Amino acid sequence: MTRADPWRGVGELLIDGNNLLHRLAGSADSGALRLLLANLQAGLPRGLPATVVLDGVPDPGAPMRVRVTPHLTVRHAGRISADQALLDAIERVSFSQRSGTVIVTDDTELRQRIREAGGRAEPLDWYLARVAGGSAATPPARTGLGAGRPRSTGPGGPTTAAGAAGSNHEDGREPWKPGRGATRKRGNPRRRRS
C-alpha cells in the first residue's frame, strides 16, 4: 500500500456486508448497518463505487437494493447467499476489468473462488487498513461500531474474530467465525433441555 494513494487500482469495491458487520459490531442488525454506512461514507474515497452485499431479504416492504449515496449501494442477496451474489457480480464484470473490482471478505473459501474466476479478493484487514490510513497490523481506532467493547490481545496484538477461535473472550461469548456455518442455529436458550 502506498501512502500517496492506498486505493490505486481499485475501480469498484464489493463488500461482504455480514462478514464486515460481525467483525466490527458483533451483529448485522439495522443499527450496526447504519453505523457501517456512515463509516463507509466517511472512509471511502469520493467517487469510488462501493456495494455492501447482505444475506437474506430486507425488512418487509423495503427494497432489495438501496442507493445510499450516488456511489454507495446496499443490496440484499435474497434467495441466494451473499457469497453467491458476490461471485455472480464478479462474473458479470468483463474479464479484463476484474482485477479492478475488489471483493472484501474474510471468508477464505470465497476469496479462493473469486480468484479462480479471475477476480481480486482481499481480507477485511486490507479494507480496514485503508480506511484507517494505517496497516493491518495496527487496526483503526474503534470509534462507532463496537467502540468500547473489550478486545483480547496477545503477543501479536489485537486478536481478530477469525484468529480468536478457541480463545476465552472477556465477555464470555463464543467468537464469530466467518464462512459457512457462521450463523448456526443453537435453539431457544430459555428452553430446558431434557
Q: How far apart are CA 97 and CA 12, in angstroms?
A: 10
15-68 residue pLDDT tens: 999 999 998 888 888 888 888 888 888 889 989 999 999 999 988 888 999 999
Closest-CA residue to 176 (of 193, 190, 191, 163): 163
Is domain 12-132 in CATH 3.40.50, yes or no?
Answer: yes
Identity at 38, one-letter amino acid code = A
> C-alpha grid cell for residue 101?
473490482
Confidence at residue 50, expressed as pLDDT on a 0 to 100 scale:
95
Instruction: State the residue for C-alpha cell 466490527.
Output: 24
Confidence at residue 174, expressed as pLDDT on a 0 to 100 scale:
57
> C-alpha grid cell for residue 50?
462501493
DSSP 86: H
Q: How far apart are CA 149 and CA 75, in angstroms?
A: 28
Locate the domains of the chain by residue range: 12-132
82-129 residue pLDDT tens: 999 999 999 999 888 888 999 999 999 999 999 999 999 999 999 988
The CA-based dihedral angle spanning residues 156, 158, 164, 167, taken in that order and rounded to the nearest 10 degrees = 80
For the beta sheet containing 65-69, the strands, ordered from the edge strand earlier in sequence to the opposite edge, are 65-69, 72-76, 50-54, 12-16, 101-104, 120-122
Confidence at residue 74, expressed as pLDDT on a 0 to 100 scale:
94
Q: How far apart are CA 71 and CA 26, in angstroms?
A: 26
> C-alpha grid cell for residue 33?
448497518
Q: Measure CA 68 to chain center.
A: 17
Strand (E) positions, the chain?
12-16, 50-54, 65-69, 72-76, 101-104, 120-122, 153-154, 157-158
Q: Measure CA 137 to chain center.
A: 18
